[in-house]
Every structure is written in C-alpha cells, then in structure tokens.
C-alpha cells in the first residue's frame, strides 16, 4: 500500500488533505497549505511533548487550538508530504506491513525523534535494518540520526574487506572521521605495519571475529562476546525504551497564542519534492544515549519461562 501523497498546492490556497482529513477525528493540524484532521490519541499516547501540549490547562478557552479548521495547530518547518508519511505509520491499512523507501523512513524518523515518538523511532530502525542499503548509505543515515553504531558493524566490515578503497563521493557521505577510521581498518586488517607503505592491496588476514574486534576497537564499539568462538551477529535494534534520550522532554510547554504554532523542526523541508519523499534535509542533533541500570539476576527457572512485553504498535482497546 503506497503512502498517500498531498494534492498539488497550486489548485487552492488551503485544502483538506485527501487521505488524512478524518471527520470523526478530534484534532486539526495545518501544515503548509493543507489541513489534517486526525486522532489526538496517537499523539498523546506516544509523545510527552504532545501530552503536555494538549493538557487542559494549556488552553483555557472554549475553542482551543486544534479544535476546528478555523483554529488549527500550525506545524511549521516541515512539509505536508513529510507529515503525511508520519501519519501513515498510524493509519496504515496493512497491519504490520510497512512498505516504504529509505527516504520515507528517514523523513518519518526525523519527526519521531523531534517529537519524542520512541516506538515510531524503533519501528523506523527495524524497517531500515530490513532494507538492502549500501554500506555507505546505511552508515550515512544512521550517523545522521544518531542511531546505535553497533548496528553498523557489518557495513564497516564490508568497506574494510572489499578490494576498492573509499571513493571521493563515498568519503563525502561518510565524513572525514569515518573515512579515516575505515582506511585505518583496511590497513590493519591486511597484516602488520612494516613501515613500507599501505597494506590495502594485500588480502585481509583476519577472520570474522578478529575483524569485528578490530572494528570495535577502531570505532569505539562494545566488545563482541561470542559462544565458543562463533562468529558474531547479526545485530538487531534495541527493544528497550530507556536507552535513548526523550527529546520531547526538553521542548517548551508554554501557553500558546492565536494562531497557535507548535514547535517547528530546525530546518524546513522542500515542498516541491514529489511525495513520497526520497530525501529529507532536516538536520537533527545526534541522539544521546543514556546508560540503563542493569537488571537484577533472575533464577534459572525464571530465565526458562517465556516473558511477554508490550511491543511497539500493539493496539490496546
């Protein structure tokens, strides 16, 4: 099911979005020249920023912002296409089946991180992990959004073991620091430094566990522990919600004025790109990680019992 797109903004100045103006919904947003009417439940359930935004004490008026088309909540600094992509996550008619491009997931991920939708962020990571991305593109996306760098170990290994060195365009995408780290890994994995010159023309002389150990040292990743010398991986994204900072907790929750404009993203996205978007130029600061307390040791009996937990996007009625 393709992601719905916004109609052409040249026909009418302001119009209802053809896919996400739901008459039975209870909150109205205005993004560029389109109005969206959706269910407040998804926003207050997932985001601490929107929970505070919709607190009754914020709007001591009869017609609060977001209650009608005449008084919508204005979201600035994002495109209507990007917001439609974000809403598609909640209104996707194909349950648990998400078919989107890397550019679309990047667009969704940017809004999820900005507004503190942690479960949506984890969904984006899981779906990005499923996509067949080039090592350079994967590293570029994950570094751009400050994702878990341990997920990049296989991409680092591919660039280290291939015959071709890092090209100019690849180096621009990777950045100077990452390019130099990969260059160092390529030399160190091909034998001891004899002082004669680069060793990249020679074949890689490390097996997979030792190569991963070398990459962990160069990139500052946690050491990989394997059973009986078995090869490590593949890596999966974290399931916990406490290992990332909730960006929305730092957003202001001041009383709004009319017309009300919600906190905007740091940089506008282009309205000219055709939906669904293939690129998103929103630049976000790296997502900081927080150490999670170690869980207490369980008995052998408890370890053998299957535990159940609420997974992202498990609907509860």
Contact 122, 237 (CB under 8 A): yes
Contact 83, 38 (CB under 8 A): no
DSSP the chain: -PPP-PPPTTS-SSEEEEEEE-TT-SEEEEETTEEEEE-HHHHHHH-HHHHHHT-GGG--SSS-TTSBTTBPEEE-SS-HHHHHHHHHHHH-SSTT-----HHHHHHHHHHHHHHT-HHHHHHHHHHHHHS---HHHHHHHHHHTT--GGGGHHHHHHHHHSSSPPPHHHHHHH-HHHHHHHHHHHHHTTS---SSS--TTSPP---HHHHHHHHHHHHTPPPP--STTPPP--------SSSB--GGGGS--PPP-SS-EEPPPSS---SSSPSSPS------PPPPB-PPPPPPPPPHHHHHSPP--PPTT----
Domain boundaries, the chain: 1-147+246-287, 149-236
Judged against a pLDDT cut of 50, whether residue 196 lies above it is answered with yes
Instruction: Copy the structure tokens of residue 285.
Output: 């600061």
Query: What's the pLDDT at 64?
Result: 83
Count of other CB atoms within 10 angstroms of residue 300? 6
Query: What's the pLDDT at 241?
Result: 37
Contact 138, 115 (CB under 8 A): no
The mean-pLDDT minimum among 10-19, 41-50, 178-187, 206-215 falls in 10-19
Q: How does pLDDT run across 53-72, given as a tens digit for each residue?
A: 888 766 566 778 888 999 99
Judged against a pLDDT cut of 60, whether residue 239 lies above it is answered with no
Topology of domain 1-147+246-287 in CATH is Potassium Channel Kv1.1; Chain A (3.30.710)
Query: What's the pLDDT at 199?
Result: 47
Task: Please indicate whether residue 5 or residue 291 has the higher confidence score (pLDDT).
Answer: 5
Task: Please indicate whether residue 220 or residue 58 has the higher confidence score (pLDDT).
Answer: 220
Q: Dihedrals φ, ψ of 107, to 5°?
A: -65, -45
């Amino acid at each position: 099911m393709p992601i719905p797109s916004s109609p052409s903004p040249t026909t009418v100045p302001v119009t209802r979005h053809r896919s996400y103006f739901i008459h039975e919904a209870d909150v109205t947003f205005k993004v560029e020249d389109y109005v969206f009417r959706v269910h407040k439940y998804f926003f207050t359930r997932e985001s601490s920023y929107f929970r505070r935004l919709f607190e009754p004490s914020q709007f001591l008026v009869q017609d609060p912002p977001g209650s009608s088309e005449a008084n919508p909540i204005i979201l600035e600094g994002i495109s209507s296409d990007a917001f439609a992509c974000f809403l598609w996550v909640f209104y996707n008619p194909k349950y648990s089946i998400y078919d989107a491009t890397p550019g679309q997931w990047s667009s969704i991920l940017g809004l999820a991180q900005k507004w503190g939708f942690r479960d949506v962020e984890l969904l984006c990571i899981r779906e990005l992990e499923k996509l067949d991305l080039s090592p350079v593109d994967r590293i570029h996306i994950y570094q751009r959004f400050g994702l878990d760098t341990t997920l990049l170990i296989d991409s680092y290994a591919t660039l280290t073991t291939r015959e071709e060195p890092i090209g100019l365009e690849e180096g621009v995408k990777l950045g100077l620091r990452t390019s130099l780290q990969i260059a160092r890994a390529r030399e160190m994995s091909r034998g001891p430094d004899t002082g004669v010159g680069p060793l990249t023309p020679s074949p890689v002389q490390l097996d997979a566990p030792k190569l991963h150990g070398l990459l962990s040292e160069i990139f500052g990743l946690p050491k990989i522990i394997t059973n009986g010398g078995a090869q490590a991986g593949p890596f999966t994204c974290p399931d916990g919600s406490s290992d990332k900072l909730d960006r929305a907790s730092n957003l202001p929750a001041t009383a709004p004025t009319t017309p009300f404009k919600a906190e905007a993203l740091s940089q506008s996205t282009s309205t000219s790109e055709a939906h669904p978007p293939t690129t998103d130029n929103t630049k976000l600061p790296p997502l900081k990680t927080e150490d999670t307390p170690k869980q207490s040791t369980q008995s052998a009996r408890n370890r053998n019992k299957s535990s159940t937990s609420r997974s992202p996007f498990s609907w509860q009625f």
